[in-house]
Amino acid sequence: MGPQIACDVVPAFQTSPGMRDILPPDSARWRRFVDVFAGIVGPAGYGLVIPPLLEDAGVFQRVGEATEVVTKQMYRFTDLGGRDVALRPELTASICRAFAEHRPAVPWKVWCAGPQFRYEKPQRGRLRQFEQVDVEVLGVDDPHVDVEVIALGWRFFQALGLRRVELALNTLGQPDDRRRYVEALRDHFEAHLDALTEEGRQTLTRNPLRVLDSKRSGDADVIAAAPAMTDHLSDAAADHFATVRAGVDALGIPYRIEPRLVRGLDYYLRTTFEYLGGTLDSAQNALGGGGRYDGLVEALGGPATPGVGFAVGVDRTLIACDDEGVFSTPAVGVDVFVVDTTGGAEALVITEELRQAGRSADRAFDGRSMKSQMKAADRSGADVAVIIGPDELAAETAVVRPLRVHGDGTPDQAVVPRAKLVHHLIQHHSLRSPAPLASEDE
């Protein structure tokens, strides 16, 4: 019998608040989530980019000095080389920094996936380390690329099986439009200062646009009476937004205009949008979103470059999937479990032969008993057990024992010549083929 691990020992270390371990089988669901996303955006010409988790803190200061992401939530510190650095709180600024540094040919269409870090109060669907998937297009000013990006997100949610998702759409206009709108908002909120919450008044001093993003009930009436961005648009911005709306209409994607939608970061201009989960609480129902950020690359030291993109949060989207009963955790298991009571060397060879043949296989270790190994075979999820005992080893045979009832003509237990074992398993048992990275029908 192998070594036993005590289950009642209190660990010396545990994860920090807002962080967590993602263990099997849940981790398989996370990987499949990214695979489905890759299967949507890859065929549209988007290539994978992998930016670093750690950046110069100045990269994210360009997100907006008035945003809580920068002022309160960023994991920022001085490294051993004396550099002012930060853990990545969002992906777009990192992608724009990479573009400014490497100057790839445009249009640059990329996607990425990975963790972000924000020091905020942990709650359902919002943690301090959180995963996102993301697409960005740099170097294209055409409003039809806005439509393409929006459609990719919509198709992704459909591929997950979600049906209660709503698209909210808005525009923040050109830079001059936005400046005029900010002043109009400032005048409005200052005229109703006593009606704002204390937090709302503090936000107003930093950026009037951020007040619109408030979910506090005490600010709701003043926000509802605020002027709309659509009343401050230049002709060029209005034409851009009209083309975006016409494109979304042409693709048959339902949406609603949300004139208070400003998103949580300061770099957005023109098109902004969010995907809202219909099963989630309204204060935390954004599954993802994005928009245009023309000027961000230039702020990071690159050439003037238009950009548009979006990010989707993995945690909150999986909660929405659970609520709708779709995109369940995939079944995990292996094709074959090898039970070897002759010392384990034969199991070592058989599992390797099966893996080389493209099939999944596992085995027990530590010289466990037949009973213990058969229990492990059942827990593994395998459809078939291959049993090697002293008699089989001497006769150069193996026992093939089905572990699941399929009703598909799967043969009963059989004794198979050892030399023909792998061929027999592939021919006579419905072993799973290696899974593709992303299936087209997902």
Domain coordinates in residue numbering, the chain? 26-174+234-324, 336-428
Q: Are strands 307-313 and 361-363 parallel, antiparallel or unpaired?
A: unpaired
Return the pLDDT at 442.
38
Return the pLDDT at 287.
95
Q: What is the DSSP letter of 430?
A: -
Question: CB burial class (10 A; 0-12, 13-18, 19+) of residue 366?
Answer: exposed
Structure tokens at 256: 């609603």
Other Cβ atoms less than 10 A from the Cβ of 103: the count is: 12
Question: Half-sphere exposure of residue 6, counting CA atoms within 13 Å on the CB side?
Answer: 4
Return the pLDDT at 271.
94
Q: What is the CATH number of domain 26-174+234-324?
A: 3.30.930.10
Return the pLDDT at 436.
40
Distance CA 37, CA 120 (A): 27
Distance CA 6, CA 43 (A): 49
pLDDT means per 10 residues, the chain with 442 residues, are 61 89 91 96 97 93 69 88 94 94 96 93 86 97 97 98 96 85 85 82 78 77 82 88 97 92 74 93 85 91 95 95 93 90 94 93 93 93 93 95 70 88 86 44 40
Residues with Cβ < 8 Å from 199, sequence gap 6 or more?
214, 216
Q: Which residue has the tokens 């990479």?
A: 98
Q: Which residue has the tokens 């990192």?
A: 94
Distance CA 69, CA 90 (A): 9
Q: Which listed CATH number (3.40.630.10, 3.10.129.10, 3.40.50.800, 3.40.50.150) goes with 336-428?
A: 3.40.50.800
Distance CA 284, CA 290 (A): 16
Is there a contact between 385 and 374 (Cβ–Cβ < 8 Å)?
Answer: yes
Return the pLDDT at 232.
80
Question: Omega of the bond prior to 254 within 30 degrees of 0, cis?
Answer: no
Distance CA 247, CA 421 (A): 58
Percent of residues in the chain assigned helix, strand, coil, to nearest 5: 40, 20, 40
Q: Which amino acid is at 216?
A: R
Return the pLDDT at 376.
93
Distance CA 165, CA 323 (A): 12
- Which ranges constitute the DSSP H helices of 192-262? 198-206, 208-212, 220-224, 235-250
**Residues forming beta bridges with residue 84, ordered by sequence position:** 78
Is there a contact between 273 and 175 (Cβ–Cβ < 8 Å)?
Answer: no
Return the pLDDT at 345.
94
